[in-house]
Amino acid sequence: MIIAMKSGAPTEEIERLCQEMTSRGFTPEKIVGSHKVVIGLVGETRSLDPDAIQDASPWIEKVLRVEKPFKRVSREFHHGEASEVKVPTPNGVITIGEHHPVVVVAGPCSVENEAMIIETALRVKAAGASFLRGGAYKPRTSPYDFQGHGESGLELLAAAREASGLGIITEVMDAADLDKIAAVADVVQVGARNMQNFSLLKRVGAQDKPVLLKRGMAATIDDWLMAAEYVMSEGNTNVILCERGIRTFDRQYLRNTIDLAVIPVLRTLTHLPIMIDPSHGTGWSSYVPSMAKAAIAAGTDSLMIEVHPNPSKALSDGPQSLTPDQFDQLMKELSVFGHAMGRWLEPISEDSHTSLMA
């Protein structure tokens, strides 16, 4: 249930209502919007009479039940407005959200060696990326594939962060590794295979770093949002939802089916920022530019794109990785789409404008 206060409601009255709801066994959560405050009530609220609560204060605008099973994640719970995730990085605070420029995350699937990860970090930073992605711990379908360097891979990510100033996004697979990952990462990623690892979601929700939650390979939208609810129920409200493609019946031409329709759907259901991963979403580098542009046109808040200095020799996901030169060109082209949507900061490159108009 949510209690929407009128614009200009006194702080004292808001606190009084919160204390009253606490005394009745509910957990009130204040969400401060640009013009008004909403009090979200967490707990068993079925016995509450909305009309009775409405009459409890002249400063209450309306009282609504949140019918969806995901409460904190729902857009209603956040007074109908989009939320934003602010991430401190060496280059300043990066904000991801519906009303901000598109944030680009780029880097290899896995961290292979120091020279490779630093070279990649410097190249994607120069092209306009704000975050470096790279796996120190890698969940692989086959137990015989490269599993990542583990803790030493985190040290290499830290070196790349120091050299480039980029924020770091890397995946946690095991709750036992969470503390050391959070010590290096600016955003902790929960991968598709762990989207419904509920004990891990709770542990990630109890720590302070923002969480990037990838959609499971066969997860419905409700499954995904309920996974986000697990994270937020532990107190961490800084969650980013990442669509990375789902499995459908056609595996011959695409690794996964990227669901871009999820962007407008999520806009109606949740206040959380949205990221699209066209690399995993297609599985082929040649399709990544088209899907990245389409994602911006559809309204994504962020993109995650795999980049490797030598994709043919990558230890994981080489076929879907762009070279640094390809990423440079893509970023120039994306600036045109980003400007058209009012979601880009850098000036439009003459080269990109010419190439798109040709």
Average pLDDT over residues 46-75: 85
140 — pLDDT class (breaks 50, 70, 90) = low
Q: Which pLDDT belongs to residue 145?
A: 52
Average pLDDT over residues 160-165: 96
Among 6-10, 148-152, 306-310, whose mean pLDDT is lowest? Answer: 148-152
- Give domain status of residue 108, yes or no: yes
Same domain, 109 and 138: yes
What span, in angstroms and rounded, lies between the C-alpha atoms of 136 and 287?
26
**Residues 287 and 330: beta-carbon distance below 8 Å:** no
Among 49-53, 84-88, 165-169, 213-217, whose mean pLDDT is lowest? Answer: 49-53
CATH assignment of the domain containing 58: 3.30.70.1140
Q: Which pLDDT belongs to residue 356?
A: 47
Nearest to 212 by CA among 92, 121, 96, 318: 96
Among 39-48, 182-191, 274-283, 310-319, whose mean pLDDT is lowest? Answer: 39-48
- Give domain status of residue 73, yes or no: no
H or E element that contains 62:
strand 60-64
- Mean pLDDT is highest, among 30-44, 66-80, 233-247, for 233-247
Nearest to 352 by CA among 337, 332, 334: 332
pLDDT higher than 80, residue 120: yes
Among 1-15, 156-170, 271-285, 323-337, whose mean pLDDT is lowest? Answer: 1-15
**Residue 62 CB partners (closer than 8 Å, separation 6+):** 4, 54
Q: Which pLDDT belongs to residue 66?
A: 79
What token pair was written down for 318?
């080489």
29 — pLDDT class (breaks 50, 70, 90) = confident
Same domain, 295 and 339: yes
pLDDT higher than 60, residue 358: no
Percent of the chain at pLDDT > 70 equals 92
Same domain, 57 and 89: no
Same domain, 140 and 36: no
For residue 33, what are the domain limits? 2-65
- pLDDT per residue as tens digits for the range 314-357: 988 899 999 999 999 999 999 999 999 999 976 555 554 444 44
- Give domain status of residue 77, yes or no: no
Q: Which pLDDT belongs to residue 348?
A: 56
- Give domain status of residue 76, yes or no: no
Average pLDDT over residues 262-275: 97
**Residues 106 and 164: beta-carbon distance below 8 Å:** no
Same domain, 142 and 15: no
Q: Which pLDDT belongs to residue 345?
A: 73
Q: Which pLDDT belongs to residue 133?
A: 96
Same domain, 35 and 170: no
Q: Which pLDDT belongs to residue 354?
A: 46
Same domain, 26 and 152: no
- Residue given tokens 């770091």 in the structure block: 168
**Residue 29 CB partners (closer than 8 Å, separation 6+):** 39, 40, 41, 42, 72
Number of domains in the chain: 2
Same domain, 21 and 96: no
- Give domain status of residue 72, yes or no: no
Q: Which pLDDT belongs to residue 48?
A: 84
Please state, as a whole number, how many other Cβ atoms lie within 10 Å of the Cβ of residue 171.
25
Percent of the chain at pLDDT > 90 equals 68
Average pLDDT over residues 253-268: 96
- Give domain status of residue 79, yes or no: no
What number of CA atoms fall less than 13 Å from residue 8's CA on the CB side? 1
- Give domain status of residue 78, yes or no: no
What token pair was written down for 42?
């967490």
What span, in angstroms and rounded, lies between the C-alpha atoms of 65 and 9?
21
Work out the burial of residue 266: count CB atoms within 10 Å of its CB; fewer than 13 is exposed, 13-18 middle, 19 or more buried. Answer: buried
Q: Which pLDDT belongs to residue 351?
A: 54
